[in-house]
Amino acid sequence: MASDMNDYFNKKKSEGGGFNNSNSGGGNTPKGPQMPNLNFNFGGGKAALTYFLIAIVVMLVLAKPFVVIQEGERGILSTNGRYQDQALLPGLHFIVPVIQKVYTVDTKVRIINYASHIGSATSKTSGIVAKRAVTVLDKRGLPVSIELTVQYRLNAQFAAQTISNWGFSWEDKIINPVVRDVVRNVVGKYDAESLPMKRDSIATEIEAGIRKSIASLKNSPAILQSVQLRDIILPTKVKDQIERVQIAKQEVQKAEQEVQRAKQEAFKKAAQAQGVADQARIEAKGIADAITINANAQAKANLLISKSLTTKLIQLKQIQIQGKFNDALKVNRDAKIFLTPGGSTPNIWVDTKDVKRRTTAK
C-alpha cells in the first residue's frame, strides 16, 4: 500500500497538476507545496516482533504481576475489591495486574506496653506499641493506674477473615479494648489498699480474662502469648496510708520479736536452774541411797551377827576379855575392875594410880 501511494504522488507530479496552484496564465507555472514522501517500511517482520516483545516486557515490569511474601508475613489477595478466603503463604505469587492486589500483614509477635509515661522510640513498624496505662476505679471509686505488657500475634490461619471482618486496624479494635475492659472488671472488685498484697492473683485473673475474651471471638483472630502485670500505681493518700500501716506492722513485729527473745532468755534461765536443781536432787538422792544401802548392809550384817551369836560363843568372848584383864592386872595391881551384870562384855577397869586415865577394853 505504501508503494501505491508513492506511485500516485509521482504521477501527479509528472502531470503538473494535483496540488500546484496557478495564479497567471502562460507556460511557466509556479510550484505549490508538495506532499512529503512517506516510507512505511519497517525493515521486515522480525524487527516489528522485537519491538512488540520489548513493549510487552516493559508493560509487565511496570505493572508488576507478581508479589513476594516474606517469612513471618501473610498476603491478603484482593480481586476487584474482594478478599480471598485463604491468605497467601510466604513465597512468590503471580497476580493479574490492575484486577488483583496483595496486601501484606505481619504475623510475628507484637507487643503493647501500657505505661504512664510513653516513650517516642516505639512504633508499629518495630512491633512494639506504647499506650497509656489503664486507669481503673477501685471498689470505693479511687483511681488506680495499671501498667502491663501484652504479647500477641495475628492468627495466620484466619488472617484473611480477620482483615475482612476487622480491617487492617484490627489490633485497635480487638486487643486494646479487650485489655482495658478486662483490667477494669478485675481491679474494680478490690480496694486500692489490698491490690499490692493480691498482685499475683490479680495478674493471673487478668491474663485468664483476656485469653477468654479473645478466644471467644469468631475465627480466633489473634493468639495471646502472655500478659505481664508490671506495676500498680496507687493514689498518693492511699500509698501514705499503706506506708503507715506497714510501719505499724513493723513496730508490732519488732515488739513481738523482743517478747519472743525475752521468753527464750527466761526459758533458757529456767532450763539452767532446773538443770542445777535436778543435779542437786540427783546428788542428794545418791547420798541418801548410799546411806540407805550402808544402813541396810549394816542391818543385814548385825542380823547375821545376832543370828550367829550363841551362849558358848559369848562365854568364849568373856574368857578372852577376862584374859586381857588378867594381863592388865599384872602390869597395874591397883586397877579396879567392874563387871557388868550377866557377865556380858565389855567390862570396865580403872587405874586408881591415875584417876584421869580410863581405858575401855574390848
Domain locations in the chain as residue ranges: 61-105, 110-234, 237-308, 311-360
Predicted confidence band of residue 193 (pLDDT cuts 50, 70, 90): confident
- pLDDT value of residue 187: 93
d(CA 43, CA 48): 8
Q: Are the C-beta atoms of 115 and 150 separated by less than 8 Å?
A: no
In this structure, how many other beta carbons lie within 10 angstroms of the beta carbon of residue 92? Answer: 9
Q: What is the pTM of this model?
A: 0.54
Burial tier of 186 (Cβ tally within 10 Å: 0-12, 13-18, 19+): buried
Nine cell digits for residue 322: 577376862
pLDDT at 64 > cutoff 90: no
Calculate mean pLDDT across residues 162-184: 92
Q: Which residue has the cell 471471638?
A: 217
Nine cell digits for residue 214: 479473645
- pLDDT value of residue 175: 93
Q: Which residue has the cell 476505679?
A: 137
Predicted confidence band of residue 250 (pLDDT cuts 50, 70, 90): confident
Predicted confidence band of residue 17 (pLDDT cuts 50, 70, 90): very low
pLDDT at 23 > cutoff 50: no
d(CA 358, CA 330): 17
* Angle, alpha carbons 113-198-130 (nearest 5°): 5
- pLDDT value of residue 50: 85
Predicted confidence band of residue 203 (pLDDT cuts 50, 70, 90): very high
Q: Which CATH number fits domain 110-234: 3.30.479.30, 1.10.3720.10, 3.40.1190.10, 3.40.120.10?
A: 3.30.479.30
Point out the least confidently predicted range of 7-16, 166-175, 317-326: 7-16
pLDDT at 247 > cutoff 50: yes
Predicted confidence band of residue 330 (pLDDT cuts 50, 70, 90): confident
pLDDT at 27 > cutoff 50: no
Q: Are the C-beta atoms of 349 and 359 separated by less than 8 Å?
A: yes
Beta bridge partners of 232: 146
Beta bridge partners of 149: 113, 228
Interacting residues of 145 by C-beta distance below 8 A, sequence separation 6+: 116, 133, 134, 135, 136, 232, 233
Predicted confidence band of residue 1 (pLDDT cuts 50, 70, 90): very low
Strands 222-233 and 335-338: unpaired
